[in-house]
Amino acid sequence: MVKKIRVTLPVDNPASAKLEKAQGRARLVCVGDWTVSELSDLDEQLSAIDLKGARDLEIDASGIASLDSGGAWLLLRTKRKADKAGAKAALIVPEKYHPLLETMDSGHTAPPVTHPPHKGLRGLLERTGEGTVHALRQGYDLLGFLGRVAVETVEAFLAPRRELPFPAFIHQIEETGVTALPIVGLLAFLLGIVITYQGADQLARFGAQIYTIDFLGIGFLRELGGLVTAIIIAGRSGSAFTAQIGTMQVNEELDAMQTIGLNIAETLVLPRVLGLVIALPLLTFFADIVGIIGGMVMTYFDLGVTIPAFMRELGNAITVKTLMVGLIKAPVFAFMIALVGCFEGMRVERNAASVGKLTTRSVVESIFLIIAADAGFSVLFSVLGI
């Protein structure tokens, strides 16, 4: 059994409400401090009032010493309850409390809820058109941002009066590369185990389990290593770029930087783009090695293939070209991730909700572009016979 404990704050004038009835008329005398600390007692007193037989009710609140929004709500609730019961109520309060009661009374009724009309096929076409126009405008703006970053990069390298922000550049390599090694390595290792296990299970039907090593090496080095690493970095570093720059936009730090003459693209965007372009190929190479190790561990315990036999079969299956096909795509993925992350961060409005919305959009757009670019590379390599 749960026992309710009521905590009351001390007041100078305890509140009370006393009902007086005579010849079909009723008078409710309200005195004391009608404040939040007295609401529980007042609610019990007002709930016990019986207006049966009363045609008129006068709520005399002239004796109230102190009134806050809680007490005002109780007075208005009592008046509405009396009106609903058929007793015409009149409320008398000191003049200084009139604004409070008027404010509380005016905010009582909410506007009616209206539902947008169902437009059917027309509405679907309208939403499709709006989405298409938004996507085209987004692509146009992103292309313009790409041009700006390209110009700033060339000027930063060629203009002798300018210096590259090397401390920020090195910091971004550390943040996007070194600190991402544990999560990339763990996922690559597990992915290597999964691919090896699934491949061996399927190839066992044909008695060709040894070719699991070929499947692992070619698939991981050419496609999966770079693709999975890019997706991880898009969710980790791309979202961080948008959130960092977006928060600076909300706090008006970007305006302050422009006021003192700093170039936003050169100071904030360029180090992130160049840092990730350097870090992602190294992360991809690391993921390739760890993924192969994960597959090697799985083949040893599942298929009984020794490490020398594994390395011999792997050497027959892959070449340097196989590794380079996967690494060539990494800088392109990195450039798209950093570009989209910084672009969405610059578009953040001055509110917290916009930061979360555009951070989510940044990750989705980055992953979409990564997969689209990977598909394009696959077609290109197929045409070139690589």
Domain ranges of the chain: 16-106, 146-384
C-alpha 94 chain-centroid distance:
50
Number of C-beta neighbours around residue 219 at 10 A: 16
Scored b (16 or more CB within 10 A) or e, 245-280 reads bbebbbeeebeeeeeeeebbbbebbbbbbbbbbbbb
Tell me which residue has tokens 């009032």.
49
Q: What pLDDT sits at residue 6?
A: 47
Phi, psi of 162 (to 5 degrees): -115, 155
Beta bridge pairs of residue 67: 34
The C-alpha atoms of residue 384 and residue 366 are separated, in whole angstroms, by: 26
* Residue 94, Ramachandran bin (φ over 0: left; ψ between -120 and 50: alpha; else beta): beta
The C-alpha atoms of residue 189 and residue 191 are separated, in whole angstroms, by: 5
The C-alpha atoms of residue 275 and residue 239 are separated, in whole angstroms, by: 15
pTM recorded for the entire structure: 0.67
In this model, does residue 3 exceed pLDDT 80?
no
What percentage of the chain reaches a pLDDT higher than 90? 25
The encoded tokens of residue 362 equal 């940044």
Are 185 and 287 spatial neighbours (Cβ–Cβ below 8 Å)? yes
Sign of CA dihedral 328, 329, 333, 339: positive
The order of strands in the sheet holding 56-67 is: 16-22, 25-34, 56-67, 88-92
Nearest to 135 by CA among 381, 369, 385, 379: 369
Are 247 and 123 spatial neighbours (Cβ–Cβ below 8 Å)? no
What's the average model confidence in pLDDT over 28-57?
Answer: 81
The encoded tokens of residue 27 equal 């008078």
Q: What pLDDT sits at residue 153?
A: 75
Give the model confidence (pLDDT) of 226-282 as tens digits: 999 999 999 999 999 999 999 988 888 888 888 887 888 888 888 899 899 999 999
Q: What pLDDT sits at residue 364?
A: 92
Beta bridge pairs of residue 25: 22, 56
H or E stretch including 90? strand 88-92
Phi, psi of 377 (to 5 degrees): -65, -40
In this model, does residue 86 exceed pLDDT 60?
yes
Q: What pLDDT sits at residue 113?
A: 67
Give the model confidence (pLDDT) of 313-348 as tens digits: 888 888 888 889 889 999 999 999 999 999 898 888
What percentage of the chain reaches a pLDDT higher than 70? 92
Q: At what angle do helices 320-346 and 239-250 cross, to 10 degrees?
A: 20
Number of C-beta neighbours around residue 312 at 10 A: 13
Q: What is the CATH number of domain 16-106?
A: 3.30.750.24
Phi, psi of 348 (to 5 degrees): -65, 135
Sign of CA dihedral 93, 97, 99, 102: negative
**88 vs 184, higher pLDDT:** 184
In this model, does residue 108 exceed pLDDT 70?
no
The encoded tokens of residue 201 equal 């299970």
In this model, does residue 5 exceed pLDDT 70?
no
Q: What pLDDT sits at residue 4?
A: 45
Q: What pLDDT sits at residue 59?
A: 83
